[in-house]
């Protein structure tokens, strides 16, 4: 099963260490493979990283306003995407 | 083979095995393990990581109890990295693929990760590299354990590679075996630079990321004269550098014999050669090399080295120490010459669009009288013990100069009221480095006891070049005819008024300009200690008439290239070994 969703990072500080950790912790609870895709822009090529690796997620340098696509492949793909997108939309619990 | 460019802060060349320091003096031993031992190494790695995670859990729980969840969550990131399969897979592959020991594998993987972070544009994210260093230390401490070798007991000659060197680390060094330094950060005034010059060993700083390019045991060339580090040099480079080392050593030995000969031209004209320092500790070495005084004591380090603004006592202790080491030899103290961007003291720096042309140096001091007066009080108090002279930097208007002198007078009256002794007639001078001051040198000469030409900044302002900007740094040169014309005029103005004048910028210590400066009528030079012998050699090998001819010829050129070329040729005739 496959599922994917586009999300926008809306936190002021972007996807910094703490939200990246939260994303990764949540992603690791699912059996599906999780990939996060950052589209190409200006002079930078597109990037694909493993959503279960905090090391890789950090290198996305996803600042506020960045659009990312989360893709999941596996038997719990749908719920994985839902919960991960929910976390992002919730601004990772930061701010009011 | 890799060449990394940085700032050469202590001259010389050395070729040696490297020892790489992390912030806790752990030397990372690099070994290859036998095939049958690879599994044991993997197990060591696994245990160390598990132990690190356990430690972090305990730490996190403790912190949550005492400080709450937010502080403790800092460690979540650390735990996350330790759990990260991508990272652990890299380390495991290094052990399996290269049969490296666990320590080396960890340090290689962590350095790569650190490199990724450092390359990030977002400063908040690139700052997270500190977490990477922290985790590296944590795992390594477990692996290396109690048997870690310190730098206090070395068995072979090494060069030390570090991010930065703290006074506590340099103090503990086995000085007989350390032959050079290379650091990621730092500049001419950093601690590493000072210690290297005092130890007379080559050092290069500001290399960026040299600690991730070198592993313990690598062969490294540190060229402090040309400001670069070569890692794992090719055989040809090795030979070239070894020859250079030999020649340099011969030349240095020869120069050392000059230390106590007087700096007099062959026709009997005496010149005063002094040294520039940042710390009192550099004085001994400067004197040993033949300096006869300190022509520029840069007091900035007192401000940069501390987390709080230095008190009057802090200043006094430093100046009293300097004067003690000098006896009756002159000590010229320059008042604070920094911008507020260089030190913070708890408040955020207000961002100036152009700090170089902004509220810094004497301007800032005149807006911050308590701070300025504290320094002046200390200088005056120390003046009773020797020959102290004071000079104000970056003076650009007569009013500014008069204001500064008024403040100094105020301070003198205060001290008198308090019955604190000081020398009332201590000489008060100024740096001539802003073109406005150079162009009006005749007016300024009437109001000070001496000039000191700060050629570094004078050149930058006159040629509109930022020497730290690689794109234009090539345009920065003392040889530009406009700069030379200004220097000539300032010297003339000083001589006409009967006040002394010196050059204290780097130009004073560069041998190719010695004949020229001498020929322009300069009698006082102030330079880095190590440069004194070479300049003295040139002085002692020429006549004032010859120097004047050289100067006349130079002033007739209209391009810096002609000037440099001619000066190089003329200097080569006197000291061929230097070329």
| Sheet strands (E) in B478-552 | 500-503, 524-528
Chain A: closest CA distance from residue B74 (Å) = 8
Nearest CA in chain A to B89: A53
The pLDDT tens digits of the residues spanning B47-66 come to 889 888 888 888 777 767 76
The pLDDT tens digits of the residues spanning B265-291 come to 999 999 999 999 888 878 988 898 899
User: Which residues contact residue B270 at a Cβ distance below 8 angstroms, ignoring those fewer than 6 apart?
Assistant: B262, B263, B264, B523
How far is residue B248's CA from residue B225's CA, in Å, rounded to a whole number?
Answer: 10
CB-CB neighbors (< 8 A) of B85 in chain A: 52-53
Question: Phi-psi category of B160—alpha, beta or left, where left has phi over 0 and alpha has psi -120 to 50?
Answer: beta
Does the beta-carbon distance from A54 to B80 stay under 8 Å? yes
B557 backbone dihedrals φ, ψ, rounded to 5°: -80, 155
Strand partners, B13: B223
Does the beta-carbon distance from B84 to A55 stay under 8 Å? yes
How many Cα atoms within 13 Å fall on the side-chain side of residue B282?
31
Does the beta-carbon distance from B84 to A53 stay under 8 Å? yes
Q: Which of A16, A37, A69, A91 is catalytic?
A: A16
Chain B: closest CA distance from residue A54 (Å) = 6
Chain B: closest CA distance from residue A20 (Å) = 9
Predicted confidence band of residue B146 (pLDDT cuts 50, 70, 90): very low
The pLDDT tens digits of the residues spanning B358-411 come to 888 999 999 999 999 999 999 999 999 999 999 999 999 999 999 999 999 999
Residue with tokens 């045991």: B217
CB distance B500 to B570 below 8 Å = no
CB of B77 within 8 Å of a chain A CB? The answer is yes
User: Would the pLDDT of B346 be above 50?
Assistant: no
Predicted confidence band of residue B347 (pLDDT cuts 50, 70, 90): very low
CB-CB neighbors (< 8 A) of A52 in chain B: 85
CB-CB neighbors (< 8 A) of A16 in chain B: 124-125, 128
Between B118 and B518, name the one with better pLDDT. Answer: B518
Q: Which of B16, B183, B365, B504 is catalytic?
A: B504
Strand partners, B32: B100
ipTM of the complex: 0.77
Residue with tokens 């290198």: A59
CB distance B45 to B101 below 8 Å = no
Chain B residues 98-157 with CB within 8 Å of chain A: 113, 116-117, 120-122, 124-125, 128, 131
Mean pLDDT of B349-359: 75
Does the beta-carbon distance from B85 to A24 stay under 8 Å? no
Does the beta-carbon distance from A53 to B113 stay under 8 Å? no
Question: Residue A91: what pLDDT?
Answer: 83
Strands B203-205 and B7-10 come out as antiparallel
How big is chain B by its Cα radius of gyration, in Å?
Answer: 27
pTM attached to this predicted model: 0.62
- B504 among known catalytic residues: yes
Give B497: exposed, middle or buried? Use CB within 10 Å, 0-12, 13-18, 19+: middle
Predicted confidence band of residue B142 (pLDDT cuts 50, 70, 90): confident
CB-CB neighbors (< 8 A) of A54 in chain B: 77, 80-81, 83-84
The pLDDT tens digits of the residues spanning B476-499 come to 899 999 999 999 999 999 999 999
Question: Residue B72: what pLDDT?
Answer: 64
Torsion of CA B225, B228, B230, B236, to 10 degrees: -50
How far is residue B410's CA from residue B388's CA, in Å, rounded to a whole number?
Answer: 19
Buried b (16+ CB within 10 A) or exposed e, B300-338: bbbbebeeeebebebbbbbbbebbebbeebbbbbbbbbb
CB-CB neighbors (< 8 A) of B81 in chain A: 54-55
User: Which residues contact residue B171 at a Cβ distance below 8 angstroms, ignoring those fewer than 6 apart?
Assistant: none
Nearest CA in chain A to B73: A18
DSSP assignment, residue B356?
G
User: Would the pLDDT of B150 be above 90?
Assistant: no
Chain B: closest CA distance from residue A47 (Å) = 14
């Amino acid at each position: 099963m496959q599922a994917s969703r586009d999300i926008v990072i809306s936190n002021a500080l972007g996807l910094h260490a703490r939200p990246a950790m939260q994303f990764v912790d949540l992603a690791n609870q699912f059996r599906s493979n999780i990939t996060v895709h950052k589209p190409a822009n200006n002079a930078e090529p597109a990037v694909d990283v493993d959503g279960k690796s905090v090391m890789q997620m950090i290198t996305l340098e996803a600042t506020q306003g960045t659009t990312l696509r989360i893709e999941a492949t596996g038997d719990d793909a749908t719920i994985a995407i839902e919960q991960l997108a929910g976390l992002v939309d919730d601004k990772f619990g930061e701010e009011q | 083979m890799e060449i990394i460019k940085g700032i050469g802060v202590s001259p010389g060349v050395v070729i040696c095995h490297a020892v790489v320091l992390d912030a806790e003096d752990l030397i990372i031993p690099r070994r290859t393990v036998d095939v049958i031992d690879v599994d044991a190494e993997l197990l060591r790695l696994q245990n160390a990581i598990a132990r690190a995670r356990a430690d972090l859990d305990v730490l996190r729980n403790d912190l949550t109890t005492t400080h709450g969840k937010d502080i403790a969550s800092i460690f979540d990131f650390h735990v996350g990295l330790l759990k990260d399969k991508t990272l652990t897979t890299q380390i495991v592959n290094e052990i399996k693929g290269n049969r490296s020991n666990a320590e080396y594998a960890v340090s290689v993987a962590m350095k790569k990760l650190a490199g990724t972070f450092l390359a990030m544009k977002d400063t908040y994210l690139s700052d997270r590299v500190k977490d990477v260093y922290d985790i590296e230390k944590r795992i390594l401490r477990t692996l290396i354990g109690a048997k870690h070798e310190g730098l206090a007991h070395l068995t072979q000659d090494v060069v030390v590679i570090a991010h930065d060197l703290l006074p506590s680390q340099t103090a503990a060094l086995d000085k007989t075996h350390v032959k050079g330094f290379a650091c990621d950060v730092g500049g001419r005034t950093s601690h590493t630079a000072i210690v290297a010059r005092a130890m007379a060993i080559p050092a290069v700083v500001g290399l960026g990321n040299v600690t991730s390019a070198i592993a313990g045991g690598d062969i490294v060339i540190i060229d402090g004269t040309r400001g670069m580090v070569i890692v794992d040099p090719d055989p040809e480079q090795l030979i070239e550098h070894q020859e250079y080392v030999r020649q340099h050593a011969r030349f240095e030995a020869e120069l050392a014999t000059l230390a106590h000969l007087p700096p007099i031209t062959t026709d009997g004209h005496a010149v005063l050669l002094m040294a520039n320092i940042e710390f009192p500790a550099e004085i001994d070495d400067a004197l040993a090399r033949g300096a006869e005084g300190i022509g520029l004591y840069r007091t900035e380090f007192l401000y940069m080295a501390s987390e709080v603004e230095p008190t009057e006592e802090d200043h006094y202790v430093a100046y009293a120490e300097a004067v003690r080491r000098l006896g009756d030899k002159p000590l010229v103290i320059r008042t604070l010459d920094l911008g507020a961007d260089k030190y913070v003291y708890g408040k955020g720096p207000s961002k100036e669009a152009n700090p170089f042309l902004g509220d810094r140096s004497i301007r800032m001091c005149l807006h911050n009288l308590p701070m300025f007066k504290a320094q002046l009080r200390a200088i005056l108090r120390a003046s009773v013990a020797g020959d102290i002279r004071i000079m104000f930097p970056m003076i650009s208007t007569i009013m500014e100069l008069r204001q500064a002198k008024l403040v100094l007078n105020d301070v003198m009256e205060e001290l008198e009221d308090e019955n604190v002794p000081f020398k009332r007639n201590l000489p008060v001078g100024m740096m001539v480095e802003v073109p406005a001051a150079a162009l009006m040198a005749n007016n300024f000469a009437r109001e000070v006891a001496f000039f000191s030409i700060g050629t570094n900044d004078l050149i930058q302002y006159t040629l509109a070049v930022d020497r730290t900007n690689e794109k234009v740094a090539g345009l920065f040169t003392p040889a530009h005819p406009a700069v030379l014309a200004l220097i000539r005029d300032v010297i003339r103005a000083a001589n006409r008024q009967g006040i002394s004048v010196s050059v204290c910028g780097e130009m004073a210590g560069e041998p190719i300009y010695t004949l020229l400066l001498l020929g322009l009528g300069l009698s006082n030079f102030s330079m880095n200690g190590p440069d004194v012998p070479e300049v003295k050699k040139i002085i002692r090998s020429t006549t004032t008439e010859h120097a004047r001819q050289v100067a006349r010829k130079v002033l007739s050129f209209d391009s810096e290239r002609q000037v440099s070329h001619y000066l190089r040729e003329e200097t080569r005739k006197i000291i061929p070994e230097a070329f």
